[in-house]
Structure 1
């Protein structure tokens, strides 16, 4: 039996990454639990200390309910090495489309995400290979690919 899970991303600025990834994935900022006006009200209710208050938006959810919840956990240490896990954003439409169409779609999505604060690392393409992707980094330097 499959289990439910959430993806947790360590970061310095949860609000920045929550807003970036919500826009990147078509997710939405998660509203506070029923009965609470804000997430800080909920945090106080479960007994968290005042220093845990105020990260702003720190979780996003798939509006259809299909994808996992993503929580952006504030941590004091900065990212220093390559991710061991990364997201692949599928924007090309798949191999049912010609490589040039897929390339245009991937490049358009890379530009959209760069406009939101991501950094393009480079295109991943090999002559003769029917695959095209763009490597990118989110606003805090976490790697992801668009294909």
Structure 2
């Protein structure tokens, strides 16, 4: 059995990025682990320092349970260089190269509307984008 992974993204504003990535991936807020009924209750169980706010993170999951969970954690230091790991948002569907490229560009436009920005287009293949805090990701067609 393969090992499952979660992705954790450091950020300045967890709620801003949570809204973006929920839109980009179709994810939802992950419920707190049992037996806790709220995320705040769960966080309180760790006896965190006073300067570590309960809203300094967001936890997202694929509602179908297929994709990796995504944790967004606020940190004091800003992003300074290109990501060493990035997310590829895969657009479903088959068809000609032109049809796939049209879907990729439409998804990139949708994500610009959600707060992302286009960094570069590689005609017919993928679009490199950034989320609202500048974290790079790509929009490409799903493998055939």
TM over 0.5: yes
8 Å CA contact retained: 2:108, 2:139: yes
Cα shift at 1:38: 2.8
8 Å CA contact retained: 1:92, 1:103: no
Cα shift at 1:80: 0.9
1:1-147 alignment, distance < 5 Å: 1-55=1-55, 58-91=58-91, 93=93, 96-125=94-123, 131-147=124-140
Inter-partner Cα distance in structure 2 for 1:107 and 1:74: 31
8 Å CA contact retained: 2:30, 2:60: yes
Cα shift at 1:46: 2.3
Structure 2: runs of 5 or more not aligned = none
Inter-partner Cα distance in structure 2 for 1:73 and 1:108: 29
Inter-partner Cα distance in structure 1 for 2:80 and 2:44: 32
8 Å CA contact retained: 2:43, 2:54: no
SS at match of 2:99: helix
Structure 1: runs of 5 or more not aligned = 126-130
Moved runs in structure 1, 4+ residues, more than 4 A? Answer: none
Per-residue CA deviations over 1:37-85 (Å, capped at 9, x if unaligned) read: 4312211122112322232661100111111111111111111111111
Inter-partner Cα distance in structure 1 for 2:128 and 2:9: 18
Inter-partner Cα distance in structure 2 for 1:53 and 1:39: 12
TM-score with structure 2 length normalisation?
A: 0.88
Aligned length: 140
Inter-partner Cα distance in structure 1 for 2:54 and 2:115: 22
